[in-house]
C-alpha cells in the first residue's frame, strides 16, 4: 500500500455549469473507481479537484471529467496543473469556499426519469412526494438567491434534512448526494389547497384539485417560476369564463397534456417537435393545428394557425396527470392585466382574487420569477424558464456591459468575458409592476454574475422606462451610456449569436421603432458591420392615421393604403360602420396626426384590414397571425411578379395592396400576400447584394416569427445564392434586442 514514490498530484479546475448538477459526487465516484486520493470542492469559479495517485489514473481522471460529465452539467474548460504531493488519505468532498463569483447557476428542469419512477412507486419513501428532485433534475435558477449554489442560498433553506435525507445527502454513492434541493415527505415543503377566500380545503390536495378541474373550475397552481391558471381545455364555457375573468379576450392559451400521444389529436408533430416537448426544459411548443383542433379545444387559440402545447414540468403537474391521464388543461401564466407573473402565496390570493376558484399552493418560495418558454422549431418565441440563465457564447472576450432592451417583450443582457447572459422574458414595460420587475432583474442579474458594467446600453427612444433607467444608472455609477437604434440592434443580435463582425445585409421586419432620423422605422434594409450601420433602404412608408392607435386597429392601416392608392374617397363607404372613417379620410388628406412609418408589421395590418380579416386587434400581432392562419389553410400560391417596385432601394408594395383591395377571397389573398411579400424581399436583398457585394443576409424583427414568411425568405435567398443568418438562441422579436444592443456597445468599445 505504501508507494509514495510512484504517486503524482494534480489540481484540476473545471468551469461551466458544474454546480448543482451532481458534479462533485461524479468526481468522487471516479476518484474511488480509479483509487485516487484527494478532494473536490465547489468555489465561486466552479469546481476544483485535488487528486493524488498513479500517473495513469490521474490522466484517466482528467479525461473522464471532460468526457463523462453528468447530464445537466456543461463543461466549458478543464485546466490541469501539477502540484506538490501531500500524501492525502482517501478522497473527500470538502466544504465550498467563497470568493469572487464567476460561475453560473443551473437552469430549471423537469423531473428526471429516475425521479418520476420513484414518484409512482408505492414502495419508495418519496411515493407521491410533490417536491421530488435529485442532482439530475428539478428547480435551480428559480429557487437560488445567490452563489455558490448551496442549500442555505436556496428557498429550501427553511427545510432542514430529516435523518434519511441527511444520509442520502452525505452518501457519495447516492443519486441525491449533495442534491441541494432534495427533501422528502418528512422534511420537505407541503402542498395545500385553498378556496377562493383563502380557506383550506380538506382532503388530498391533488385529488381535490382534480375534482375542481373536472367540475369546470379555475385553479391557480404554483409552478416553477410562477403561478398558472388551469382549467379543463375541452370545456368551452370554462375557457370562456377564464377569458372573461382574465380580461384576455382572444390571446391564445397554452395547453398542457400528460404525454406526447394525446398531442397527436390536436397538432402536427415532427420528430424534432416531440424531442422539444420532452426535453428537460419543457417549453411550450407552437405546433400547426389539425382541422378539428378548434372544435376539440374551443376558445384556446381561435382562428390562429398554431396551438401551444407542453408536457408536465413539475412533480405536482405529473401527479395531476397521473391520476387523470386523458385530461387536457389550459395552463396560462397568472399575470393579470399584463402585469408580471404571480409568484407568492399571499400575492396569489390577492392578485388572482375573482379569477381563480381555488389555489394549489406550497411553502417552497419562488425566488426568481420566470415565465414558460415558448419555442417553435429550432427558434424561440419567448425565452425564459429552462433556458435562463444559460449563456450565449461570444466569439471573444468583451468589456462588461449591461444592455436594457426596449419597451415591448423586454429582456436585459449582461456580458462577462466571452459570455452574454440574457435575462428571462420580463414583458412589456407599460405598467409600474413590470417596471419594478425590470429593475429587480437588472439587480439580480448583476448580482449573480458579479459584474460591474463599464457601459449601459439602451434604445434611442427617450420615453421608454428602460431608457430612462439607463440614464439614471449611468449617472449613478459615472459610466457612459450608449443609445442604439432599434433595428440596428435587431440585426446586431443575430450577428452576435453567430459571431459575425464582417459586413452583412440586415433586413429588419418589425413593428414601429424609432429611427436615427426621428421617424418611425420598421421595414429596414441595413448594412451592418460591427458597431456601425447604414440605412440602405426601407419599405415605402404608410401613414399611421391617429398615431399609435393605428397599430391596434388594422382598418386604419387599410384606410392609409387606400389613401396612398388615390382611393381615399372610398374610405368612408368601405368602412361605413366605423364612426371615425369620414374623419380619417380627412386626416389622411390633410396629413393631420398621421405620421409615416416604414414598419413591416403595419403592412401586415394594412393587408389584414383590406382583406377584411380583422378590423381591430385584441393583442399585438393578432391581425398578422390570423392572416398567416388563413394563408396556411389556403395552401401555397405563386407570387405576383408585378406586386412590387424597387426604386432607389425603397421597396414599394403598393401594387400588391391594390390587388388585395380588389381580392374577393380573403384566404387566397392572404396566401398571395405572403408569397408576394417574400418574393419582393428576396428581390430587394438580391439587388442590394449585387450593389454592395455582400452575400450574407441577417434577418430579424417580430415579423420573422411568421412561419410562412421566414420559410419563403429562406428558400428564396438560398435560390439566389445568398446566405441567411437567423435568430436561434433568442427570439427574433424585441426579446432579442438587448443582446444586439450589447454587441454594438462592445464593438464600439473595441474601436471597430
Interacting residue ranges for Zn ion, rule: CB under 5 A: 112, 115, 134, 136-137, 162, 165, 184, 186-187
State how far the Cα of 512 lies from the Cα of 506, in Å rounded to an integer.
Answer: 16
As measured in angstroms, the least distance from the Cβ of 185 to Zn ion is: 7
As measured in angstroms, the least distance from the Cβ of 164 to Zn ion is: 5
Helices (H), 404-548: 432-449, 465-477, 486-498
As measured in angstroms, the least distance from the Cβ of 656 to Zn ion is: 54
Residue in this structure with the C-alpha cell 424531442, named with its chain if needed: 275
Pick between residue 136 and residue 382 the one whose CB is nearest to Zn ion. Answer: 136
As measured in angstroms, the least distance from the Cβ of 76 to Zn ion is: 24
Pick between residue 184 and residue 263 the one whose CB is nearest to Zn ion. Answer: 184
Cα distance from N-terminal residue to C-terminal residue, the chain: 61
As measured in angstroms, the least distance from the Cβ of 117 to Zn ion is: 10
- Give every CB contact of residue 357 below 8 A, 6+ residues apart in sequence: 195, 196, 212, 217, 218, 219
Length of the chain: 752
**260: helix, coil or strand?**
coil
- Give every CB contact of residue 77 below 8 A, 6+ residues apart in sequence: 13, 14, 15, 16
Pick between residue 10 and residue 165 the one whose CB is nearest to Zn ion. Answer: 165
User: Phi and psi dihedrals of 552, rounded to 5?
Assistant: -100, -10
As measured in angstroms, the least distance from the Cβ of 20 to Zn ion is: 12
Pick between residue 168 and residue 510 the one whose CB is nearest to Zn ion. Answer: 168
425 close to 341: Cβ distance less than 8 angstroms: no
> Which long-range contacts link 643-646 to residues 24+ away (Cβ below 8 Å)?
643/676, 643/679, 643/680, 644/676, 644/679, 644/680, 644/683, 646/683, 646/684, 646/687
As measured in angstroms, the least distance from the Cβ of 74 to Zn ion is: 18
The three three-digit cell numbers of residue 483, written as one number: 443609445
> Could you count the other beta carbons within 10 Å of the beta carbon of residue 467?
21
Pick between residue 137 and residue 398 the one whose CB is nearest to Zn ion. Answer: 137
Pick between residue 39 and residue 177 the one whose CB is nearest to Zn ion. Answer: 177
- Give every CB contact of residue 741 below 8 A, 6+ residues apart in sequence: 403, 404, 405, 413, 457, 458, 459, 482, 484, 489, 492
* Burial class of residue 143, CB neighbours in 10 A (0-12, 13-18, 19+): buried
State how far the Cα of 253 lies from the Cα of 419, in Å rounded to an integer.
Answer: 34
State how far the Cα of 713 lies from the Cα of 719, in Å rounded to an integer.
Answer: 10
Q: What's the distance, CA 567 to chain centroid?
A: 43
| Bridge partners of residue 140, in order along the sequence | none
As measured in angstroms, the least distance from the Cβ of 109 to Zn ion is: 9
Pick between residue 4 and residue 163 the one whose CB is nearest to Zn ion. Answer: 163
As measured in angstroms, the least distance from the Cβ of 140 to Zn ion is: 12
Pick between residue 149 and residue 421 the one whose CB is nearest to Zn ion. Answer: 149
Pick between residue 175 and residue 535 the one whose CB is nearest to Zn ion. Answer: 175
State how far the Cα of 576 lies from the Cα of 578, in Å rounded to an integer.
Answer: 5
As measured in angstroms, the least distance from the Cβ of 182 to Zn ion is: 8
Pick between residue 133 and residue 209 the one whose CB is nearest to Zn ion. Answer: 133
Pick between residue 137 and residue 493 the one whose CB is nearest to Zn ion. Answer: 137
Pick between residue 262 and residue 280 the one whose CB is nearest to Zn ion. Answer: 280
> Could you count the other beta carbons within 10 Å of the beta carbon of residue 10?
21
As measured in angstroms, the least distance from the Cβ of 362 to Zn ion is: 15
User: Phi and psi dihedrals of 291, rounded to 5?
Assistant: -55, -35
State how far the Cα of 335 lies from the Cα of 341, in Å rounded to an integer.
Answer: 4
As measured in angstroms, the least distance from the Cβ of 316 to Zn ion is: 15
Amino acid at each position: 500500500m505504501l508507494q509514495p514514490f510512484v504517486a503524482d498530484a494534480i489540481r484540476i479546475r473545471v468551469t461551466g455549469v458544474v454546480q448543482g448538477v451532481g458534479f462533485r459526487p461524479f468526481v468522487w465516484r471516479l476518484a474511488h473507481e480509479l483509487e485516487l486520493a484527494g478532494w473536490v470542492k465547489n468555489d465561486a469559479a466552479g469546481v476544483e479537484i485535488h487528486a493524488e495517485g498513479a500517473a495513469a489514473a490521474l490522466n484517466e481522471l482528467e479525461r473522464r471529467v471532460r468526457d463523462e460529465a453528468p447530464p445537466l452539467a456543461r463543461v466549458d474548460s478543464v485546466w490541469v496543473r501539477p502540484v506538490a504531493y501531500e500524501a492525502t488519505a482517501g478522497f473527500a468532498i470538502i466544504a465550498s469556499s467563497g470568493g469572487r463569483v464567476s460561475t453560473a447557476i443551473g437552469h430549471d428542469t423537469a423531473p428526471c426519469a429516475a425521479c418520476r419512477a420513484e414518484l409512482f412507486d408505492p414502495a419508495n419513501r418519496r411515493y407521491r412526494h410533490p417536491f421530488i428532485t435529485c442532482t439530475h433534475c428539478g428547480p435551480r435558477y428559480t429557487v437560488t438567491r445567490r452563489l455558490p449554489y448551496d442549500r442555505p442560498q436556496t428557498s429550501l433553506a427553511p427545510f432542514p434534512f430529516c435523518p434519511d435525507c441527511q444520509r442520502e445527502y452525505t452518501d457519495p454513492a447516492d443519486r441525491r448526494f449533495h442534491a441541494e434541493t432534495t427533501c422528502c415527505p418528512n422534511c420537505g415543503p407541503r402542498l395545500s389547497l385553498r378556496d377562493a377566500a383563502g380557506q383550506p380545503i380538506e382532503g388530498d390536495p391533488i385529488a381535490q384539485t382534480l375534482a375542481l378541474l373536472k367540475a369546470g373550475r379555475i385553479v391557480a397552481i404554483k409552478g416553477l417560476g410562477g403561478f398558472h391558471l388551469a382549467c379543463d381545455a375541452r370545456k368551452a364555457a370554462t375557457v370562456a369564463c377564464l377569458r372573461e375573468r382574465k380580461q384576455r379576450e382572444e390571446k391564445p392559451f397554452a395547453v398542457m397534456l400528460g404525454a406526447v400521444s394525446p398531442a397527436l389529436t390536436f397538432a402536427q408533430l415532427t420528430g424534432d417537435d416531440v424531442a422539444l416537448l420532452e426535453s428537460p426544459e419543457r417549453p411550450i411548443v407552437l405546433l400547426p393545428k389539425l382541422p378539428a383542433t378548434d372544435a376539440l379545444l374551443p376558445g384556446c387559440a381561435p382562428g390562429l394557425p398554431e396551438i401551444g402545447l407542453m408536457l408536465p414540468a413539475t412533480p405536482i403537474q405529473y401527479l395531476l396527470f397521473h391520476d387523470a391521464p386523458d385530461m387536457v388543461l389550459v395552463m396560462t401564466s397568472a399575470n393579470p392585466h399584463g402585469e408580471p407573473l404571480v409568484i407568492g402565496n399571499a400575492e396569489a390570493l390577492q392578485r388572482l382574487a375573482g379569477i381563480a376558484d381555488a389555489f394549489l399552493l406550497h411553502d417552497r418560495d419562488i425566488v426568481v420569477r420566470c415565465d414558460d418558454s415558448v419555442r417553435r422549431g429550432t427558434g424561440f418565441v419567448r425565452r425564459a424558464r429552462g433556458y435562463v440563465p444559460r449563456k450565449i457564447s461570444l466569439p471573444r472576450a468583451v468589456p462588461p456591459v449591461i444592455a436594457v432592451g426596449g419597451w415591448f417583450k423586454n429582456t436585459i443582457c449582461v456580458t462577462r468575458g466571452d459570455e452574454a447572459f440574457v435575462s428571462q422574458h420580463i414583458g412589456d414595460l407599460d405598467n409600474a409592476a413590470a417596471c419594478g420587475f425590470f429593475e429587480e432583474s437588472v439587480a439580480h442579474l448583476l448580482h449573480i454574475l458579479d459584474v460591474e458594467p463599464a457601459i449601459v446600453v439602451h434604445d434611442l427612444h427617450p420615453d421608454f422606462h428602460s431608457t430612462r433607467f439607463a440614464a439614471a444608472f449611468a449617472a449613478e455609477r459615472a459610466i457612459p451610456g450608449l443609445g442604439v437604434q432599434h433595428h440596428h440592434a435587431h440585426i446586431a443580435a443575430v450577428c452576435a449569436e453567430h459571431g459575425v463582425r464582417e459586413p452583412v445585409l440586415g433586413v429588419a421586419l418589425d413593428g414601429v421603432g424609432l429611427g436615427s432620423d426621428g421617424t418611425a422605422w420598421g421595414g429596414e434594409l441595413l448594412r451592418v458591420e460591427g458597431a456601425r450601420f447604414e440605412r440602405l433602404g426601407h419599405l415605402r412608408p404608410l401613414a399611421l392615421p391617429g398615431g399609435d392607435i393605428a397599430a391596434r386597429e388594422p382598418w386604419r392601416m387599410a384606410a392609409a393604403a387606400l389613401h396612398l392608392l388615390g382611393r381615399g374617397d372610398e374610405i368612408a363607404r368601405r368602412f361605413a360602420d366605423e364612426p371615425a372613417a369620414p374623419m380619417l379620410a380627412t386626416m389622411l388628406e390633410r396629413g393631420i396626426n398621421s405620421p409615416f412609418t416604414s414598419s413591416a408589421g403595419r403592412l401586415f395590418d394594412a393587408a389584414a384590414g383590406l382583406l377584411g380579416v380583422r378590423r381591430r386587434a385584441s393583442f399585438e400581432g393578432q391581425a398578422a397571425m390570423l392572416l398567416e392562419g388563413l394563408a396556411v389553410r389556403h395552401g401555397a400560391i405563386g407570387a405576383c411578379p408585378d406586386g412590387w417596385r424597387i426604386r432607389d432601394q425603397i421597396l414599394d408594395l403598393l401594387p400588391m395592396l391594390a390587388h388585395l383591395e380588389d381580392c374577393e377571397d380573403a384566404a387566397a389573398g392572404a396566401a398571395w400576400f405572403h408569397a408576394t411579400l417574400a418574393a419582393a424581399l428576396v428581390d430587394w436583398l438580391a439587388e442590394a447584394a449585387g450593389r454592395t457585394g455582400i452575400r450574407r443576409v441577417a434577418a430579424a424583427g417580430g415579423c420573422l416569427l411568421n412561419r410562412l414568411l421566414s420559410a419563403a425568405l429562406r428558400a428564396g435567398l438560398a435560390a439566389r445564392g445568398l446566405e441567411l443568418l437567423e435568430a436561434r438562441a433568442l427570439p427574433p422579436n424585441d426579446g432579442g434586442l438587448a443582446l444586439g444592443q450589447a454587441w454594438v456597445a462592445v464593438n464600439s468599445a473595441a474601436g471597430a
